[in-house]
Amino acid sequence: MNSKALRRSGQPLARDTRDTWFLLAIIAAVVLPHLDHLPPWASAITGLVLGWRGWLAWRGQALPGRWALVGVLLITAALTWLSHRTLLGREAGITMLVMLMALKTLELRARRDAFVVFFLGFFLVLTNFFYSQSLLTALWMLASVWALLSALVLAQMPVGQPSLRLAATQAARTTAWGLPVMVLLFLLFPRIAPLWGLPSDAVGRTGLSNSMDFGAMAEIANDDTIAMRLRFEGPVPPPEARYFRGPVLGQFNGRTWRPAVMNFPGRSDALQVSGPALRYELTLEPQRISVLPLLEMSGEQAGTMRQVESLRLSRAGELQWQAGRPITERLRLDASAYLSYRHGPQQNSLVLQNYLDLPPGLNPRSLQWAADLRRQNRFASLEEAQLTPLLVEAVLQHIRTADFSYTLAPGRYGESTPHLIDEFWLDRRLGFCEHFSAAMVVVLRAMGVPARIVTGFQGMDNLPQDGYWIVRNSNAHAWVEYWLPGRGWLRADPTAAVAPERVMRGQALRPAPGVLAGVLGQINPTLWLNLRRSWEALNNRWQQQVLNYSRQNQFDLLKQLGVSQPDWTALGQLSAAVIASLGLFGAAWSLWQRHRPQDAWSRQRGQVLRELQTLGLREAAPHQSPGAWAQLLQERFGEAAEPAARLLREQEAARYGRSASAQAPGWRERRRWLAAFRAACRPCRS
């Protein structure tokens, strides 16, 4: 009778069908986090294969032949090559691993085939951490490992139909035994780069880049995930000083802004700081660029790395802090900044010509607008040091009064004209920070004022979480720097002119809430916000105490254990001692298990077997089940053996049936049962 017939008759599914479906569900759960990184064809084939395998188990039909699987494997290998141009490397390797595990389910003919699937499943769980080490990923992978262990326990129970609950309980008990070993290895295993730098959480979500395409995005969707966390040693900087300097863009080709090409020699950014330093701890989420967005203006010693010692920091020519490679892991560092500073040349020099270039033949109306403003009578007799602040203020006043709108959905610019700045500055006047900053730089350059765009972050959450101030990806921002004689480079933020709440409160415009957030917002306006803050505080503790557990933390632990001068040698010796102790303990445990007395079930089976042999059942053997013994009793003694046979069948159901318990009965229960069995055997003796 197949599974469908069993279903119609009201009987439970056959064990093979149930276990197969359980294993397929586990595989789907393990593969699910990979869907964002797999090619679409790989996700589709995996879903089809798992669904087909489940249907075959439901119908009780035969599995496909080996040559059919070989053909599908060759097709997937060819598609992997076309997608990744290689069969090696992380992306191609994970794609092939997913496909191999899915195809392996189509040849589950023996227990060894299931063990191969378990092995691939555990390895695929590990590969999820190549993409993310977040708390949510860790919890999901922990549940996946528990489910895989439960399936492994089921495979080790060949008799009867043990329940999934029984297998899950046994898997949890086994995991609990291994948990102390895992904690010890986590605390003592050396942090060797780049093993602790492989994963990257959501690379490239911040919106920061080494280039900026004006008007390329018709709509920008805010990403409220966390970009960095800060903890200040002293007072928190005021809102107008919460600028985090990232890539500086000075070259414009009419559509795209890029870092300036220094066609004219000279040093443009000498830094002079004054006043006390503002010291803070920064935990930075992964970026897709090699620039660290540090608080303006960071001093000569930007920070000391706590986690990735191989990452070298240097201050670039335009005062942004540069790493030697893109930041693909979470970083924690100590940094300092000065709120009172000057930077850039004090007098006009040739290097400033790099920040006056404009693409020829583009945006003629904006250039004419700038020239007309510059020729006004009130500016005619002013020197450059007096003129530049007035020109900047005139441009900002134009933004305040000319019906500009700050919006995250301005539509796409440049579809009908190559003059993007003209379209924004004089026609549509809809945009977000990049539009305003780009247009202001073009206008200032047209009036002879050196200017450039600075990108980074601006603002923080209103309240700290767990002592940390939160900067989100939605705080990504762009502003303007212009040069003033005698002062150097000064900041001007046109966004503050059109949307002052964006800068003074550090708040970005929010997109429409999702369905869940909207429903919770109607029930309680602060419920969704409080839930998100609680989760982020928990996730922050995971990051600070687990993900940021570094080599220095290991050395601190050695000091607490009494090591006066902790170093790699002491850490290695302690690790070797712990591993050796665990090995000796495991060997002693195995030896004791081999020679320990029989367990409760085995002792009871021996007592029953001796009782049967006193009845003359010499054919009863230790390897037989209680049900087989019950059949032997009835064959020898007929109806007189029915009470004893019933007790044996009940014992088999209690040990191997669907409602079987992993916990053996206590000695009182075993004693009562044995007394009842001996009493039931008396009619057989007479």
- What is the tens place of the pLDDT at every residue in 263-310? 666 565 678 888 888 899 888 887 778 888 898 887 654 444 344 455
Amino acid occupying residue 490 = L
What DSSP character marks residue 547?
Answer: I
DSSP 423-451: IIIIII-EE-HHHHHHHHHHHHHHTT--E
pLDDT, position 396: 92
Highest mean pLDDT among 262-266, 348-352, 426-430, 610-614: 426-430
Give the up-direction half-sphere exposure of residue 117: CA atoms within 13 A in the CB hemisphere: 30
Structure tokens at 74: 């060759």
pLDDT, position 510: 53
Does the annotation count 34 as an active-site position? no
* Lowest mean pLDDT, pick from 469-473, 529-533, 558-562, 651-655: 529-533
Confidence of residue 33 (pLDDT cuts 50, 70, 90): confident
* Lowest mean pLDDT, pick from 62-76, 276-290, 527-541: 527-541
Q: E strand or H helix at 671, and its extent?
A: helix 667-680
pLDDT, position 244: 92
Question: Per DSSP, what are the bridge partners of residue 468?
Answer: 465
**Is the pTM for the entire model greater than 0.85?**
no
Greater confidence (161 vs 439) lies with 439
One of 84, 477, 681, 684 is an active-site residue; which one?
477
CA angle in degrees (0–180, nearest 5) for 61-63-66: 160
Contact call for residues 101 and 119 (beta carbons, < 8 A): no
CA angle in degrees (0–180, nearest 5) for 340-324-313: 30
pLDDT, position 202: 39
Q: How far apart are the C-alpha atoms of 626 and 660, rounded to whole Å? A: 14
Torsion of CA 155, 159, 160, 166, to 10 degrees: -50
* Lowest mean pLDDT, pick from 36-45, 55-64, 206-215: 206-215
Greater confidence (563 vs 630) lies with 630
pLDDT, position 380: 75
User: What is the mean predicted confidence (pLDDT) over 644-658?
Assistant: 79
3-state secondary structure of 623: coil
One of 269, 419, 422, 433 is an active-site residue; which one?
433
CA dist 116 → 16, 72, 97, 104, 291 (Å): 17, 19, 12, 8, 44
Does the annotation count 433 as an active-site position? yes
pLDDT, position 442: 94
590-599 pLDDT per residue, tens: 777 665 545 5
User: What is the mean predicted confidence (pLDDT) over 561-588?
Assistant: 80
DSSP 390-422: HHHHHHHHHHHHTT-EE-S----SSSS-S-HHH
Confidence of residue 199 (pLDDT cuts 50, 70, 90): very low
Contact call for residues 212 and 260 (beta carbons, < 8 A): no
User: What is the mean predicted confidence (pLDDT) over 654-659?
Assistant: 68
Does the annotation count 567 as an active-site position? no
User: What is the mean predicted confidence (pLDDT) over 333-346?
Assistant: 86
Q: Percent of the chain at pLDDT above 90? A: 10
Q: With a cut of 80, say whether residue 644 has pLDDT above it.
A: yes
**Mean pLDDT for the chain?**
79
Domain ranges of the chain: 3-172, 212-504, 515-547, 551-595, 600-685
One of 84, 493, 681, 684 is an active-site residue; which one?
493
pLDDT, position 498: 85
Q: Helices 667-680 and 600-614: crossing angle, nearest 10°?
A: 20
37-54 pLDDT per residue, tens: 888 888 888 889 888 888
